Chain A
Amino acid sequence: DAKTTQPPSMDCAEGRAANLPCNHSTISGNEYVYWYRQIHSQGPQYIIHGLKNNETNEMASLIITEDRKSSTLILPHATLRDTAVYYCTLNYGGATNKLIFGTGTLLAVQP
Chain B
Amino acid sequence: EAGVAQSPRYKIIEKRQSVAFWCNPISGHATLYWYQQILGQGPKLLIQFQNNGVVDDSQLPKDRFSAERLKGVDSTLKIQPAKLEDSAVYLCASSFDVEVRTDTQYFGPGTRLTVL
A residues near B, CB below 8 A? 2, 32, 34, 36, 41-46, 49, 51, 87, 89, 91, 93, 95-104
Contact = CB atoms under 8 A, between A and B. Distances in A.
Contact of B41 (A41, A91, A103): A103
Given A43-B4, A101-B44, A32 B102 contact: yes
5 contacts: A36-B107, A89-B42, A93-B101, A97-B31, A97-B48
For the complex, would chain B's binding face be called helix, strand, loop or mixed by DSSP majority?
Answer: loop
Interface residues of B, number: 25
Contact of B91 (A2, A43, A104): A43
Given A43-B107, A96-B48, A96-B56, A2 B42 contact: yes
**Minimum-distance CB pairs A-B, first 9:** A101-B42, A43-B107, A96-B56, A97-B98, A44-B107, A101-B43, A43-B109, A43-B110, A97-B103
Nearest to B48: A96
A42 B48 contact: no
Contacts of A95: 55-56, 98
Contacts of B93: 43-44
Contact of B105 (A46, A51, A103): A46
A43 B42 contact: no
B28 interface: no
